[in-house]
Amino acid sequence: MKLNVTILLAALVCTAHAKLNVVTTLPDYAALAREIGGDLVDVTAMGKPTEDPHFVDARPSFIVKLRTADVLIEGGAELEIGWLPPLLQTARNSKIEVGASGRVQASEGVHLLDVPATLTRAAGDVHASGNPHFMVDPIIAKAVAAHIATAFAAADAAHAATYQANNQKFTATIDAKLQEWGRAMLPFRGQHVAAYHDDWLYFAHRFGLDVNVFLEPKPGVPPSPARLAEVIGLIKANNIKAIIVEPYHNRKIAEKVASSTGASVVDAAQYPEALPNTTTYIQLIDVLVARITTALKH
Ligand SMILES: [Zn+2]
């Protein structure tokens, strides 16, 4: 009997250890990791849902997490270049090195849009290698989920079939929802939309909008009064009805532009849990579609 208890305890300890330690740079990757990994993974996102992904506050606890990570999921398109490299240098974990099976670079195989002809970070431009905000395109999210399933299967072969089944389920759900989202967005095809920062390009591309006026003169550069005067002119000229802002943007500036033009401010986010009722990736896209279509109807 005593032996059985020992075996049972050993089994419990073993099960606890069997969970994959997954670290993600941002909460969108964490949401996908939970879809694919379920109860088999422990997921930590370094960036908070309402935090600016270009400037995440790099805390020492992240190094501890990275040191014991089995899998790291990051964008691979320089969105996190300002804060991730020093953390990885200090963590020194060969499992999550570039090229290792424990490293998921989400942009692998993604056709990045707006890649500049010349590589420069001049004037604060934070999109020097192409626009890195691709996760709000659900078709790209499917590809990223597949990368994640492959990495989890490599790190935990015993549960490979579960990870692949979860990936198939996620893919099927996205495919079904794409029909619904597409129908909701269809009446607004070709409409121009403004945004504080240039991070709706892939969403717009997927759903037929043209998000082409930005409050920031360049990505990462705050708008000056002269820029705002110019933006007001562009919003009027393009009959723009919606200005998309995110939690870490200066909403007051967007409100001023809105009151001068008759457009409405849309509180949006690129990360699950930044808005109410957006625990999962699919819920996030549901809420984005609802909020944007509501603003465009007016
Ligand atoms: Zn950006």
* 124-149 pLDDT, tens digit each: 666 888 999 999 999 999 999 999 99
Give residue 182 CA to ligand 1 midpoint distance, Å: 25
Give residue 78 CA to ligand 1 midpoint distance, Å: 9
Q: What is the pLDDT of residue 120?
A: 63
* 69-116 pLDDT, tens digit each: 999 999 999 999 999 999 999 999 999 999 999 999 999 999 999 988
CA 20 to chain centre: 21
* Residue found by looking up tokens 């992240």 in the block: 62
Give residue 277 CA to ligand 1 midpoint distance, Å: 24
Give residue 129 CA to ligand 1 midpoint distance, Å: 11
Domains in the chain, start-ordered, CATH in brackets?
Answer: 2-105+114-177 (3.40.50.1980), 184-297 (3.40.50.1980)
* 200-248 pLDDT, tens digit each: 999 999 999 999 999 999 888 999 999 999 999 999 999 999 999 999 9
Give residue 241 CA to ligand 1 midpoint distance, Å: 22
Give residue 16 CA to ligand 1 midpoint distance, Å: 38
* 112-129 pLDDT, tens digit each: 999 887 766 665 666 888
Give residue 95 CA to ligand 1 midpoint distance, Å: 28
Give residue 288 CA to ligand 1 midpoint distance, Å: 18
pLDDT at 9 over 60: no
Give residue 130 CA to ligand 1 midpoint distance, Å: 10
Give residue 121 CA to ligand 1 midpoint distance, Å: 12
Q: Quick one: tokens of 134?
A: 């691709």
Q: What is the pLDDT of residue 16?
A: 47
Q: Quick one: tokens of 177?
A: 């929802």
Q: In whole angstroms, give the CA distance from residue 249 to residue 45.
A: 21
Give residue 244 CA to ligand 1 midpoint distance, Å: 14
Contact 90, 63 (CB under 8 A): yes
pTM of the model: 0.92
Give residue 56 CA to ligand 1 midpoint distance, Å: 12
Give residue 248 CA to ligand 1 midpoint distance, Å: 12
Q: In whole angstroms, give the CA distance from residue 287 to residue 298.
A: 17
Give residue 273 CA to ligand 1 midpoint distance, Å: 19
Lowest mean pLDDT among 4-13, 38-47, 232-241: 4-13
Q: What is the pLDDT of residue 117?
A: 78
Instruction: Please report, in angstroms and rounded to a whole number, the separation of the first and last CA atoms in the chain.
Output: 72
